[in-house]
Protein backbone atom coordinates (compact mmCIF):
# COMPACT_ATOMS: atom_id res chain seq x y z
CA UNK A 1 0.00 0.00 0.00
CA UNK A 2 2.85 2.40 0.84
CA UNK A 3 4.15 2.46 -2.72
CA UNK A 4 0.72 3.22 -4.13
CA UNK A 5 0.33 6.13 -1.76
CA UNK A 6 3.67 7.56 -2.70
CA UNK A 7 2.82 7.34 -6.39
CA UNK A 8 -0.65 8.79 -6.37
CA UNK A 9 -2.35 10.37 -3.37
CA UNK A 10 -5.59 12.23 -3.99
CA UNK A 11 -7.06 14.29 -1.17
CA UNK A 12 -10.74 15.18 -0.98
CA UNK A 13 -11.20 18.28 1.15
CA UNK A 14 -14.51 18.29 2.96
CA UNK A 15 -13.96 21.52 4.88
CA UNK A 16 -11.14 24.04 4.70
CA UNK A 17 -10.39 27.38 6.27
CA UNK A 18 -7.49 29.82 6.25
CA UNK A 19 -6.45 31.62 9.41
CA UNK A 20 -4.33 34.61 8.46
CA UNK A 21 -3.37 35.22 12.08
CA UNK A 22 -2.22 31.69 12.76
CA UNK A 23 1.42 31.21 13.66
CA UNK A 24 1.22 27.45 13.35
CA UNK A 25 -0.53 26.52 10.12
CA UNK A 26 -1.67 28.77 7.32
CA UNK A 27 -4.19 26.33 5.86
CA UNK A 28 -6.09 23.82 7.94
CA UNK A 29 -8.56 21.10 7.15
CA UNK A 30 -11.39 20.31 9.55
CA UNK A 31 -11.93 16.87 8.01
CA UNK A 32 -10.28 14.96 5.19
CA UNK A 33 -10.68 11.75 3.30
CA UNK A 34 -7.51 10.30 1.81
CA UNK A 35 -8.80 8.73 -1.38
CA UNK A 36 -6.09 6.10 -1.51
CA UNK A 37 -6.87 4.99 2.05
CA UNK A 38 -9.66 2.79 3.44
CA UNK A 39 -10.56 5.16 6.29
CA UNK A 40 -11.69 8.70 7.09
CA UNK A 41 -9.71 10.62 9.70
CA UNK A 42 -11.26 13.54 11.58
CA UNK A 43 -9.34 15.64 14.12
CA UNK A 44 -11.33 16.61 17.21
CA UNK A 45 -8.82 18.49 19.38
CA UNK A 46 -5.14 18.33 20.32
CA UNK A 47 -4.54 14.55 20.68
CA UNK A 48 -8.12 13.44 20.06
CA UNK A 49 -9.30 12.11 16.70
CA UNK A 50 -11.66 9.67 15.05
CA UNK A 51 -10.92 7.06 12.39
CA UNK A 52 -13.88 5.54 10.54
CA UNK A 53 -12.49 2.38 8.98
CA UNK A 54 -15.10 0.14 7.41
CA UNK A 55 -17.42 -1.02 10.19
CA UNK A 56 -14.95 0.03 12.86
CA UNK A 57 -15.02 3.49 14.45
CA UNK A 58 -11.83 4.16 16.38
CA UNK A 59 -11.66 7.00 18.92
CA UNK A 60 -8.11 7.90 19.95
CA UNK A 61 -7.61 9.59 23.34
CA UNK A 62 -11.20 10.86 23.51
CA UNK A 63 -11.53 14.08 25.54
CA UNK A 64 -13.82 17.10 25.66
CA UNK A 65 -17.10 15.34 26.42
CA UNK A 66 -19.51 13.51 24.14
CA UNK A 67 -20.59 16.77 22.48
CA UNK A 68 -17.11 17.02 20.92
CA UNK A 69 -18.04 14.02 18.76
CA UNK A 70 -21.35 15.36 17.49
CA UNK A 71 -22.11 13.94 14.05
CA UNK A 72 -19.68 11.06 14.46
CA UNK A 73 -20.83 7.45 14.92
CA UNK A 74 -20.37 5.81 18.31
CA UNK A 75 -16.97 4.20 18.82
CA UNK A 76 -16.45 0.49 18.48
CA UNK A 77 -12.82 0.74 19.66
CA UNK A 78 -11.07 3.30 21.87
CA UNK A 79 -7.30 3.67 22.16
CA UNK A 80 -5.81 5.47 25.15
CA UNK A 81 -2.12 6.34 25.14
CA UNK A 82 -1.30 7.75 28.59
CA UNK A 83 -2.58 8.88 32.00
CA UNK A 84 -2.46 12.65 31.38
CA UNK A 85 -5.76 14.49 31.12
CA UNK A 86 -5.35 15.43 27.47
CA UNK A 87 -5.29 11.70 26.67
CA UNK A 88 -7.20 9.97 29.45
CA UNK A 89 -10.50 11.65 30.34
CA UNK A 90 -12.71 9.47 32.52
CA UNK A 91 -15.68 11.82 32.23
CA UNK A 92 -15.64 11.61 28.44
CA UNK A 93 -15.10 7.86 28.44
CA UNK A 94 -18.09 7.42 30.73
CA UNK A 95 -20.30 9.31 28.26
CA UNK A 96 -19.38 7.22 25.24
CA UNK A 97 -20.90 3.97 24.04
CA UNK A 98 -20.92 1.19 26.62
CA UNK A 99 -20.40 -1.26 23.76
CA UNK A 100 -16.97 0.06 22.80
CA UNK A 101 -13.86 -1.90 23.72
CA UNK A 102 -10.68 -0.16 24.84
CA UNK A 103 -6.95 -0.73 24.50
CA UNK A 104 -4.69 0.90 27.07
CA UNK A 105 -1.41 0.52 28.96
CA UNK A 106 -1.38 -0.72 32.56
CA UNK A 107 -0.94 2.76 34.08
CA UNK A 108 -4.21 3.85 32.46
CA UNK A 109 -5.98 0.61 33.34
CA UNK A 110 -5.06 1.12 37.01
CA UNK A 111 -6.98 4.41 37.06
CA UNK A 112 -10.14 3.00 35.47
CA UNK A 113 -13.34 2.06 37.29
CA UNK A 114 -14.40 -1.57 37.07
CA UNK A 115 -16.88 -1.11 34.21
CA UNK A 116 -14.16 0.28 31.95
CA UNK A 117 -11.62 -2.33 33.05
CA UNK A 118 -14.03 -5.05 32.00
CA UNK A 119 -13.98 -3.70 28.44
CA UNK A 120 -10.24 -2.98 28.23
CA UNK A 121 -7.42 -4.98 26.68
CA UNK A 122 -4.08 -4.36 28.37
CA UNK A 123 -1.14 -3.78 26.04
CA UNK A 124 2.45 -3.09 27.04
CA UNK A 125 5.28 -1.64 24.96
CA UNK A 126 6.34 -4.08 22.26
CA UNK A 127 3.25 -6.28 22.53
CA UNK A 128 0.66 -6.66 19.80
CA UNK A 129 -2.84 -8.09 19.58
CA UNK A 130 -5.36 -8.91 16.89
CA UNK A 131 -8.50 -6.99 17.90
CA UNK A 132 -11.54 -5.65 16.02
CA UNK A 133 -9.95 -6.67 12.74
CA UNK A 134 -6.74 -4.72 13.41
CA UNK A 135 -3.25 -5.76 14.29
CA UNK A 136 -2.48 -3.35 17.14
CA UNK A 137 1.09 -2.94 18.34
CA UNK A 138 2.14 -0.85 21.33
CA UNK A 139 5.10 1.38 20.53
CA UNK A 140 7.15 2.97 23.33
CA UNK A 141 6.62 6.69 23.99
CA UNK A 142 8.87 8.52 26.44
CA UNK A 143 11.17 11.47 27.07
CA UNK A 144 14.93 11.30 26.68
CA UNK A 145 16.03 14.88 27.43
CA UNK A 146 17.11 15.20 31.06
CA UNK A 147 14.82 18.05 32.08
CA UNK A 148 11.83 16.37 30.39
CA UNK A 149 12.16 12.90 31.91
CA UNK A 150 9.54 13.76 34.54
CA UNK A 151 6.82 14.11 31.90
CA UNK A 152 6.78 10.68 30.26
CA UNK A 153 8.60 7.75 31.82
CA UNK A 154 9.61 4.92 29.54
CA UNK A 155 7.16 2.01 29.66
CA UNK A 156 4.20 3.92 31.10
CA UNK A 157 2.40 5.00 27.92
CA UNK A 158 1.78 3.54 24.48
CA UNK A 159 2.08 4.86 21.01
CA UNK A 160 0.30 2.55 18.59
CA UNK A 161 0.65 1.08 15.11
CA UNK A 162 -2.68 -0.08 13.69
CA UNK A 163 -2.57 -2.29 10.62
CA UNK A 164 -5.56 -3.37 8.56
CA UNK A 165 -6.27 -3.81 4.84
CA UNK A 166 -2.49 -3.68 4.21
CA UNK A 167 -2.40 -0.12 5.61
CA UNK A 168 -0.42 0.88 8.72
CA UNK A 169 -1.11 3.95 10.86
CA UNK A 170 1.33 5.14 13.52
CA UNK A 171 0.07 7.23 16.46
CA UNK A 172 3.02 8.65 18.37
CA UNK A 173 1.39 9.61 21.65
CA UNK A 174 3.60 11.83 23.84
CA UNK A 175 7.21 11.16 22.98
CA UNK A 176 10.51 12.55 21.88
CA UNK A 177 12.28 11.34 18.74
CA UNK A 178 13.15 7.99 20.24
CA UNK A 179 14.96 5.15 18.44
CA UNK A 180 11.76 3.09 18.37
CA UNK A 181 10.12 5.81 16.27
CA UNK A 182 13.07 6.27 13.95
CA UNK A 183 13.23 2.52 13.31
CA UNK A 184 9.61 2.12 12.20
CA UNK A 185 9.09 0.59 8.75
CA UNK A 186 6.34 0.67 6.11
CA UNK A 187 4.12 3.26 7.79
CA UNK A 188 1.44 4.69 5.51
CA UNK A 189 0.11 7.41 7.79
CA UNK A 190 1.89 8.82 10.85
CA UNK A 191 0.52 11.21 13.45
CA UNK A 192 3.49 12.84 15.17
CA UNK A 193 3.43 15.09 18.26
CA UNK A 194 5.52 18.25 18.74
CA UNK A 195 5.14 20.44 21.79
CA UNK A 196 7.71 21.65 24.26
CA UNK A 197 8.47 21.19 27.06
CA UNK A 198 6.40 18.00 27.12
CA UNK A 199 7.54 16.16 23.99
CA UNK A 200 9.82 17.50 21.24
CA UNK A 201 10.36 20.42 18.89
CA UNK A 202 9.07 20.54 15.30
CA UNK A 203 12.68 20.22 14.15
CA UNK A 204 13.22 16.99 16.13
CA UNK A 205 9.89 15.59 14.95
CA UNK A 206 10.78 16.37 11.34
CA UNK A 207 14.20 14.75 11.67
CA UNK A 208 12.66 11.56 13.05
CA UNK A 209 10.02 11.57 10.29
CA UNK A 210 12.75 11.73 7.66
CA UNK A 211 14.27 8.64 9.25
CA UNK A 212 11.18 6.40 9.21
CA UNK A 213 9.72 7.80 5.98
CA UNK A 214 5.93 7.46 6.26
CA UNK A 215 3.96 8.08 3.07
CA UNK A 216 1.82 10.69 4.85
CA UNK A 217 2.61 12.52 8.07
CA UNK A 218 0.16 14.59 10.08
CA UNK A 219 1.55 16.83 12.84
CA UNK A 220 -0.75 16.85 15.86
CA UNK A 221 -0.56 17.59 19.59
CA UNK A 222 1.33 20.85 18.96
CA UNK A 223 0.00 23.04 21.78
CA UNK A 224 2.55 23.49 24.53
CA UNK A 225 4.30 26.22 26.54
CA UNK A 226 6.74 28.98 25.67
CA UNK A 227 7.85 31.52 28.27
CA UNK A 228 5.23 29.94 30.55
CA UNK A 229 2.45 30.90 28.12
CA UNK A 230 0.33 28.65 25.88
CA UNK A 231 2.07 28.33 22.53
CA UNK A 232 1.17 26.58 19.27
CA UNK A 233 4.31 25.15 17.72
CA UNK A 234 5.20 25.82 14.11
CA UNK A 235 3.86 22.99 11.97
CA UNK A 236 4.73 24.95 8.83
CA UNK A 237 8.37 24.71 9.87
CA UNK A 238 7.91 20.98 10.36
CA UNK A 239 6.38 20.68 6.90
CA UNK A 240 9.17 22.68 5.25
CA UNK A 241 11.90 20.54 6.82
CA UNK A 242 10.21 17.27 5.87
CA UNK A 243 9.37 18.26 2.29
CA UNK A 244 12.84 19.69 1.73
CA UNK A 245 14.39 16.48 3.03
CA UNK A 246 12.13 14.05 1.18
CA UNK A 247 9.55 15.14 -1.38
CA UNK A 248 7.99 11.66 -1.34
CA UNK A 249 6.60 12.28 2.15
CA UNK A 250 3.28 14.12 2.04
CA UNK A 251 2.67 16.46 4.98
CA UNK A 252 -0.96 17.23 5.85
CA UNK A 253 -1.82 20.11 8.18
CA UNK A 254 -5.16 19.58 9.89
CA UNK A 255 -6.95 21.87 12.32
CA UNK A 256 -6.55 20.42 15.80
CA UNK A 257 -7.65 23.60 17.58
CA UNK A 258 -10.76 24.75 15.69
CA UNK A 259 -12.22 26.87 18.50
CA UNK A 260 -9.02 28.63 19.47
CA UNK A 261 -7.56 31.86 18.17
CA UNK A 262 -3.96 30.91 17.57
Span 50-105, pLDDT tens digits:
999 999 999 999 999 999 999 999 999 999 999 998 999 999 999 998 999 999 99
Is residue 197, in this structure, part of any structural domain at all?
Answer: yes
214 belongs to a structural domain: yes
Which spans in 150-232 are helix H? 179-182, 202-212
User: Does 258 map to a domain?
Assistant: no
Residue 20, in any domain of the structure: yes
Q: Are strands 120-122 and 77-79 parallel, antiparallel or unpaired?
A: unpaired
In-domain check, residue 23: yes
The candidate with the shortest Cα–Cα distance to 3, out of 166, 240, 184, is: 166
Tally of structural domains, the chain: 1
Q: What is the pLDDT of residues 131-172, one digit of tens each?
A: 999 999 999 999 999 888 888 999 999 999 999 999 999 999
Quick check: 9 pLDDT over 70?
no
Is residue 257 situated within a structural domain?
Answer: no
Q: What are the E-state strand segments in 54-166?
A: 56-60, 77-79, 101-104, 120-122, 128-131, 134-141, 157-164
Q: Residue 45 is part of a domain; what is its CATH number?
A: 3.60.15.10
Closest to 5 measured CA to CA, from 253, 248, 218: 248
For residue 36, the enclosing domain spans 2-251
Give the model's pLDDT for residue 147.
87
Q: Residue 260 domain-assigned?
A: no
Q: Is the pTM of this model over 0.85?
A: yes
120 backbone dihedrals φ, ψ, rounded to 5°: -110, 135
Q: Supply the DSSP symbol for 254.
A: B
Length of the chain: 262
Q: Domain for residue 183, yes or no? A: yes
Amino acid sequence: MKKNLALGLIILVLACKTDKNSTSNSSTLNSTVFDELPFELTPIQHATFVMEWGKEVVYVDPTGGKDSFEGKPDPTLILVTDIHGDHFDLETLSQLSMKAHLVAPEAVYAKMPEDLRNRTKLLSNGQNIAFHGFDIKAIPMYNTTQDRLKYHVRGRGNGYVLTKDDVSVYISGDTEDIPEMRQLKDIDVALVCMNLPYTMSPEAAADATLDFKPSIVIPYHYRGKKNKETHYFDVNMFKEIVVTGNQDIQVELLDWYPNTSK
